[in-house]
Amino acid sequence: WSRTRTGTNTFCLQLCRLYRTLRQETSVFPLPEPHDVFQASQMKFDDFQKDLNRLRKDLRACTTEVEKVCKVSEEENLQPFKDMMEDFLSQGTTDLSACGAVGHFLELSVFFSVKPKSGEKEVSPNTFFSLWHEFTSDFKEQWKKENKVILKERLKAAEESFRQAKEKASYSVKPKHASGIKAKLGMKI
């Protein structure tokens, strides 16, 4: 376990350094937050499907209600409501059709070569995202360490440029030779 953990940390450190060289100025964490990945691992597709079915049912009910209102309403009162509701219903239909999450998730798990645990017929979100949760957590730790190193380097560079500017700006002040009336009067006295 410690050997694997060390390898993971080394891999994360290499990724952080590579990303740092590619994106020198940005200090925004490039991955999803580990907590978000953990929450994704807790998702159950059965619950998600139930919610989608409920939304489809609600959308159908809303469509029938809109049709009823359009049939009963007079033409002069119909227009702003009808256009707005058609836009709303078409957007809802588009959003619902885009929610084929199970198929996309299975394609994703095949792409990353994640195999289901023994006893499971498909890869579960818990199996898939627990791997990514561990990776994003380790990467974030290394990311913070690398950002501290970058800040120290920038601070040193700023201090060095300030010191050099101060050395360049240092000049010697030569006393002015007195040649005015005060000096001449002072010499006579």
Query: For residue range 117-128, what is the model confidence (pLDDT) as tens digits?
Result: 888 888 888 888
- What pLDDT, on a 0 to 100 scale, did the predictor assign at position 50? 86
- What pLDDT, on a 0 to 100 scale, did the predictor assign at position 57? 93
| Any domain includes 101 | yes
For residue 2, what pLDDT band results from cuts at 50, 70 and 90?
Answer: very low
| Any domain includes 153 | yes
pLDDT at 1 over 50: no
| Any domain includes 47 | yes
Backbone angles phi, psi at 59, to 5 degrees: -65, -40
| Any domain includes 44 | yes
This model's pTM is above 0.95: no
H-state helical runs in 23-124: 34-41, 45-72, 75-97, 101-111
Residues 130, 114: Cα–Cα separation, whole Å: 11
Q: Kindly report the CATH number assigned to the domain that includes residue 148.
A: 1.20.58
- What pLDDT, on a 0 to 100 scale, did the predictor assign at position 134? 87
CA atoms within 13 A on the CB side of 7: 4
- What pLDDT, on a 0 to 100 scale, did the predictor assign at position 165? 79
Cα 129 from chain centre = 17
DSSP state of 59: H
Q: What is the Cα Rg of the chain in Å? A: 34
Domain count, the chain: 1
Query: For residue range 61-113, what is the model confidence (pLDDT) as tens digits?
Result: 999 998 888 888 888 878 888 888 889 888 888 888 777 666 777 887 888 88
| Any domain includes 42 | yes
Q: What's the rounded mean pLDDT across residues 9-35?
A: 67
Query: For residue range 145-188, what is the model confidence (pLDDT) as tens digits?
Result: 888 888 888 889 889 988 887 777 666 667 777 777 777 777 77
DSSP state of 24: S
Domain containing 92: what range? 2-160
DSSP state of 124: -
Angle, nearest 10°, between helix axes 2-22 and 125-169?
50
